[in-house]
Structure 1
Amino acid sequence: MAAMNDLSIRPATAADLDRVLAFWKVAAEGTSISDDGDGVARLVERDPDALILAERDGTLVGTVIAGFDGWRCHLYRLAVHPEQRRRGVGGALLAAAEERFAALGGRRADAMVLDRNELAQHTWRAAGYGPQPQWSRWVKPLTD
């Protein structure tokens, strides 16, 4: 994909999955029902370019999931290692996701951002995203 100085941006491979799951425990706010090896493996198998990684000197420093269902663009799991924040990692990941969406014909992206995660909200606002008061996201777990 892209490189920014010493930052490398690329899609994840199956070989990265354990490292990604361990990274999310350190860098992501909260966990998801699909934060397991099988869930992330299905994502990468179904859409090999959806899970985007940022690395510095071979060390994972950020992730974003840029999913596209053919109609809408969805962003999940924007996570940056705490020691790497405010160094352009999140912005580079979002730029890579938006480039992917544009290449696929996507016209609008939405992001899942926890209400309590004020740091993330600041990052998303700085990137031009904002809450949409006319929409409410409703979620139903598909498994127990």
Structure 2
Amino acid sequence: MNDLRIRGAAPADAERVLAFWKDAAEGTTVSDDLAGVRGLIARDPEALLLAERDGELVGTVIAGFDGWRCHLYRLAVHPQRRRQGVATALLAAAEARFTAFGGRRGDAMVLVRNERAHHAWRSAGYLPNEEWRRWTKPLVGVRPPGPPAAG
């Protein structure tokens, strides 16, 4: 696996990441667009970790830390590159990032219907937590804080 390179995303990676997720990731969210990925990279470029082999994007994970919790999203490995240690390397990089911040527990978002992902997360030492349910609300159409729009 010494030819696998893990790095933080750059603005120029946004379109490539979105195209990659169409092939390698399950499900979509309201943030799966150019503005969402570019916003993540602008806010915290090291949060979106990319795994590359010989310049080919083979895996991703979003490792976000909000100062309190360590959140993992979009662990995705190219279908032809699975079972080659890519996810293991990405999670090791994410966990190293978290521990450097003083993080204490990783929290992974995993689709209920994605059985393949359940096996991958379990083999990495993560377990489902049935005590909690994730509650969400799309904020599409909500303006970010700032000056009022001219009009």
Could you say which TM-score interval applies, normalised by the shorter chain? over 0.9
Output the TM-score relative to the length of structure 1: 0.96
Instruction: Give me the whole-angstrom Cα distance separating, in 1, the residues matched to 2:12 and 2:130.
Output: 40
Instruction: Give me the whole-angstrom Cα distance separating, in 1, the residues matched to 2:129 and 2:14.
Output: 32
Note the C-alpha offset of 1:137.
1.0
Q: Report how many aligned residue pairs link the two structures.
A: 141
Instruction: Give me the whole-angstrom Cα distance separating, in 1, the residues matched to 2:36 and 2:18.
Output: 10
Corresponding position of 1:83: 80
Residue ranges of structure 1 left out of the alignment (5+ in a row):
none
Q: How high is the sequence identity, in percent, across the aligned residues? A: 72
Superposed CA offset, 1:64-123 (max 9, x none): 000000000000000000000000000100000000000011111100000100000100
State which drifts further: 58-67 or 4-13: 4-13
Q: What amino acid is the match of 2:67?
A: G
Alignment partner of 1:44 is 2:41? yes
Name the Cα RMSD after superposition: 0.8
Corresponding position of 1:8: 5
Note the C-alpha offset of 1:39.
0.5
Structure with bigger gyration radius: 2
Corresponding position of 2:146: none
TM superposition outliers: structure 1 runs of 4+ over 6 Å: none
2:68 to 63, 66, 71: 71
Note the C-alpha offset of 1:53.
0.2
Q: What amino acid is the match of 1:139?
A: T
Note the C-alpha offset of 1:36.
0.6
Corresponding position of 1:107: 104
